[in-house]
């Protein structure tokens, strides 16, 4: 029964009284819609008490609101051990700050003689209740560790059930007594707001940040100029404060964003084993390609003959790419006489590699600047960007055991016998001696 009253009835009563009471107070007694300032009467202890308390409670309330309003996100965040420790530590630190502030305020209100005149019983009640509530919270935090992690899980659904007018006290009725007292205390404090100085939480003077400073108009000329100067100084300070706030907010955002990206960039990717495997396979393949290339280079330094292809692998219309002794690209075709035609594939214009397909006129195309080269003569077409012909390469035909059957030097002079039967299955090679002859 008590549970139903405290956790299902009291919340609605409190919120209803809060809304109606606040509205009523605002309509009937607008100038009391704030906390009565006593800075004029005592300002030393107020500085310590008020600032400690307000800074502390703002951070603590922010934590409560975030945790209870966004339980999913919040729990995902505090699932990280380091963050949870950090949150708990921050919470504890600011709770202690609250306690220090409240105690200072209470001592001040109880001991300052001037303050006695303006203090009402409600002021003391507020201080006492707040202190009790904060101490309860502190106690909960110590007695039932890791509230940041467990509280949203059960209290958030409870609040949600209240908001949807479907109150479900099952979420809270079996909580430890301390927790239940803390929750009930919160509802009592809400109830108290419209009847106490607590109402000032609805009248935060944000506009002080941007409203123009108020000017006191004096009839005394000396005071008048003084006031003008003061306003100017205040105006300056206000502009500076605003610009500073904006700038530091911007810089902070930029810093956080950049730092986040930098950290993730340098931390590197987290890849699945599959992705990692693909990546390694690709790297290995590239390394193999490079090693093939290196082997080609080595062969060109050492070998007297380099295999291009078997004669019967060559075709008349599509050339086979290979690299010559200078590691430049070249193409091998089968000529009309059944013997190979080897031609440089490095365009004489700007060194692109020409395509390997012969067009209908028996020409090769360089795709970079559109030059056509005749396969037979190597000459470029008239008006092509390339001016000089592609050179033909000498070749040698070899049998399996490495005997040269027939060879042709770059100028087309042949040596050996061209017996078609013997040349079947012969291997087309380029020969170092033709390179040396050219040089």
The binding site for another protein (CB under 8 A) comprises 261-262, 264-269, 271, 275, 279, 282-283, 286-287, 289-290, 293, 321-323, 326-329, 345, 350-356, 366-370, 385, 387
Nearest distance in Å: CB 415, another protein? 29
Nearest distance in Å: CB 404, another protein? 26
**Across-strand partners of 373?**
364, 380
Nearest distance in Å: CB 170, another protein? 43
Q: Which secondary structure element, helix H or strand E, spans residue 340, and what is its range?
A: strand 340-344
> What distance in Å separates the CA atoms of residue 272 and residue 36, rounded to the nearest whole number?
63
Nearer to another protein among residue 355 and residue 389 (C-beta): 355
Nearer to another protein among residue 185 and residue 329 (C-beta): 329
Nearest distance in Å: CB 288, another protein? 9
| Spatial contact of 409 and 362, defined as CB atoms under 8 Å apart | no
Nearer to another protein among residue 6 and residue 331 (C-beta): 331
Nearer to another protein among residue 151 and residue 390 (C-beta): 390
Nearest distance in Å: CB 390, another protein? 13
Nearest distance in Å: CB 409, another protein? 22
Nearer to another protein among residue 80 and residue 290 (C-beta): 290
Nearest distance in Å: CB 397, another protein? 23
Report the length, in residues, of the chain.
439
| Spatial contact of 123 and 195, defined as CB atoms under 8 Å apart | no
Nearer to another protein among residue 249 and residue 350 (C-beta): 350
Nearer to another protein among residue 230 and residue 315 (C-beta): 315
Tally of helices (H runs) and strands (E runs) in the chain: 14, 10
Nearest distance in Å: CB 289, another protein? 7
Nearer to another protein among residue 213 and residue 391 (C-beta): 391
In the numeric block, which tokens belong to residue 425?
């299955």
Q: In what order do the strands lie in the sheet with 427-431?
A: 305-310, 427-431, 395-398, 404-408, 414-416
> What distance in Å separates the CA atoms of residue 179 and residue 224, rounded to the nearest whole number?
59
Nearer to another protein among residue 406 and residue 428 (C-beta): 428
Cα–chain center distance at 414: 69
Q: Which secondary structure element, helix H or strand E, spans residue 3, and what is its range?
A: helix 2-4
Nearer to another protein among residue 4 and residue 279 (C-beta): 279
Nearest to 180, CA basis, from 224, 143, 211, 208:
143
Nearest distance in Å: CB 276, another protein? 9
Nearer to another protein among residue 54 and residue 328 (C-beta): 328
Please give the radius of gyration of the chain, using alpha carbons only, rounded to the nearest integer. 45
Nearest distance in Å: CB 245, another protein? 17
Nearest distance in Å: CB 350, another protein? 4
């Amino acid at each position: 029964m008590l549970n139903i009253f405290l956790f299902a009835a009291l919340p609605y009563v409190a919120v209803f009284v809060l809304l109606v009471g606040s509205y009523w107070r605002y309509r009937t007694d607008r100038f009391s819609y704030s906390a009565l300032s006593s800075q004029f009467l005592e300002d030393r202890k107020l500085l310590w008490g008020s600032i400690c308390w307000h800074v502390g409670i703002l951070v603590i309330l922010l934590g409560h609101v975030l945790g209870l309003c966004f339980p999913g996100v919040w729990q995902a965040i505090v699932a990280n051990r380091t963050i949870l420790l950090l949150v708990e530590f921050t919470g504890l630190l600011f709770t202690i700050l609250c306690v220090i502030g409240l105690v200072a305020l209470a001592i001040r209100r109880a001991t300052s003689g001037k303050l006695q005149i303006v203090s009402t019983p409600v002021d003391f009640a507020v201080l006492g209740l707040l202190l009790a509530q904060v101490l309860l919270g502190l106690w909960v935090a110590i007695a039932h560790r890791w509230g940041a992690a467990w509280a949203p899980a059960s209290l958030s659904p409870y609040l949600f059930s209240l908001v949807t007018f479907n109150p479900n006290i099952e979420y809270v009725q079996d909580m430890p007594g301390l927790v239940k007292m803390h929750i009930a205390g919160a509802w009592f404090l809400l109830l108290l707001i419209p009847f106490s100085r607590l109402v000032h939480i609805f009248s935060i003077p944000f506009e002080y940040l941007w409203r123009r400073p108020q000017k006191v108009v004096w009839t005394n000329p000396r005071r008048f100029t003084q006031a003008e100067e003061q306003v100017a100084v205040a105006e300056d300070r206000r502009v500076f404060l605003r610009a500073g706030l904006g700038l530091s907010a911007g810089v902070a955002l930029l810093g956080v964003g950049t730092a986040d990206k930098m950290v993730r960039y340098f931390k590197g990717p987290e890849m699945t084993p599959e992705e990692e495997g693909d990546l390694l396979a690709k790297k290995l393949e590239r390394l193999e390609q490079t090693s093939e290339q290196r082997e080609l280079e080595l062969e060109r330094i050492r070998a007297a003959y380099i295999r291009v292809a078997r004669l019967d692998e060559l075709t008349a219309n599509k050339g086979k790419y290979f690299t010559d002794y200078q590691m430049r690209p070249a193409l091998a075709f089968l000529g009309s006489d059944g013997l190979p035609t080897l031609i440089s594939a490095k365009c004489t214009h700007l060194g692109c590699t020409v395509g390997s397909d012969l067009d209908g006129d028996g020409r090769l195309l360089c795709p970079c600047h559109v030059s056509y080269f005749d396969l037979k003569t190597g000459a470029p077409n008239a008006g092509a960007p390339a001016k000089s012909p592609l050179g033909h390469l000498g070749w040698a035909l070899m049998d399996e055991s490495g005997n040269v059957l027939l060879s042709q030097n770059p100028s087309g002079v042949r040596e050996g016998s061209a017996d078609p039967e013997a040349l079947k299955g012969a291997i087309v090679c380029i020969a170092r001696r033709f390179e040396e002859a050219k040089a």
